Amino acid sequence: MKRIYIGNLSFDTTEEKLNVTFAAFGEVFSVSILTDKFTGRSKGFGFVEMPDDDAAFNAIRELNGKEIDDRKVRVSIAEDKPVRKNNAPRSKNQR
């Protein structure tokens, strides 16, 4: 299963549009566009999961730099989010 990052999305791009776009290359397991928790507006990036690695790599190669809804998107393998350290209170010397 490959998780694909899509950046520079138009605020008008929908998850359905991404699903259709990536389905042209193979099976799509899931699609999500991240939204602001207060406004509900797109943050301009999202993720697609594809179970077939070859289909995912083909989609990345073909779609990176292409226009979706009048925006040139960046498409790449999603990298794992770095693990944040403990949210313990900082000492006075660390402020």
Taking 70 as the pLDDT cut, the residues of the chain under it are 84, 86-95
Q: What is the pLDDT of residue 90?
A: 59
| Cβ atoms of residues 22 and 50 within 8 Å | yes
The encoded tokens of residue 37 equal 């928790």
Q: What is the pLDDT of residue 79?
A: 85
Q: What is the pLDDT of residue 87?
A: 62
Q: What is the pLDDT of residue 42?
A: 95
CB-based contacts of 1, cutoff 8 Å, min separation 6: 29, 49, 50, 51
SS3 content of the chain, % helix, strand, coil (to 5): 25, 30, 45
Whole-model pTM: value is 0.82
